[in-house]
Amino acid sequence: MPAETPTSRAIRCRLAYVLRVCASRRLRLLPVAGRSGDLVHANLLWPTTQYANVNRVPYAYAFTKFYWMPYYAAFRNVLGQPLAFLACALTTGSLLVVVVLPGLLAAAVAVLKKSVFSQDLAPFWICGGALWLSETHRPDLMHLVYGSAIWFILLCALLGKLPSSRVPASLLAVSLVVLGSLNLALQARTRIDTRCGVIYGFKREAALAFLIAHTAKGEPVLVYPYYPIYYFLSGTQNATRFSIFVHGRNRPDQFRSAVESIESKRVRYVLWDTLITDKTLPQWFPAYIQPSPRDLIVENYLLSHYHQVGLEGDFRVLKRNE
């Protein structure tokens, strides 16, 4: 390993100093803002006591149910069973690689031995491992995708070290190309004007358009139970301090705190998502349990203090009773 130069040592020391100063100042502000308890709860108490109540899922959850089986069924109707399996493998190949990525890296270690831990690959092992582990709190397919980006690069580098790497590298490339082609075919083409500029999506966002047309910039609103991107795109403010509401994930006192905020700010408009219900939530949160009607704190408050004035896309539009 080459010796550290004075320049690199100075850069490292300065970066460490900046990070230490920023962290210490941020931590000193928490008691002043009365948020020390929130910090402990969000990073220690809640993950160890409540997180699994909702976010306990099997490894690679959703891959078989939402990707492999639908694609396989579609291809089988057109191509027949043998070709359907091959077409499905190619179409979902990159996602399948994500699912078995830790096993592929372990196999590479077994074959290549110590050469996989060379100095040039060490940052990919360390940073990639940290990113992957940070997403395993909910090891469903999408979180595995989020956490695999760096290890994907590492895998490609290791494939190049194999004596006969052309075949696996080619299969990996084909799966990526096929997936990329599908993404291009389904690319977003609908123009959406927001208070933050123009974006493009797959369909018109009617509820977002309603917020922009009927609220002032910076006005407090509520999007229930969650769709926090609407606050940003509409230029409005979340009337509560919570970006998501899921029973079992949030404590009852947090729901009550949200109601107090909505009441004190006299929030005019609420968007209530019709797609997120006690019937659909178990699809995304298998451990979800719907509370009894009397324990639905926010829902009961909205039903008694607001009335529906429209349906925009998938959202019920509620307006505060006069």
What mean pLDDT do residues 175-183 have? 57
- At 251, give phi and psi (nearest 5°): -80, 155
At residue 45, the pLDDT reads: 75
Q: Which residue has the higher pLDDT, 26 or 125?
A: 125
């998938």: which residue's tokens? 314
Domain boundaries of the chain, sorted by first residue: 1-28, 63-185, 190-320
The pLDDT > 70 percentage for the chain reads: 80
State the pLDDT at residue 268.
96
In 43-171, the DSSP E strands lie at: none
Rounded to whole angstroms, the Cα distance separating 297 from 99 reads 39
Q: Is the pLDDT of residue 1 over 90?
A: no
Q: Looking at this protein, which amino acid is placed at residue 304?
A: S
The alpha carbons of the chain give a radius of gyration, in whole angstroms, of 25
Task: Quick: pLDDT tens for 202-228.
Answer: 788 999 999 999 999 999 999 999 899
The predicted model gives 279-284 an average pLDDT of 84
Which of 212, 265, 242, 202 is CA-nearest to residue 38? 242
pLDDT digits (tens, 9 = 90+) for 76-103: 888 888 888 888 877 777 788 889 899 9
Sheet holding 220-224, edge to edge: 237-238, 220-224, 269-273, 315-320, 306-312
Over 90: is that where the pLDDT of 237 sits? yes
- pLDDT at residue 20 tops 50: yes
Give pLDDT, residue 322. Answer: 82
pLDDT of residue 73: 87
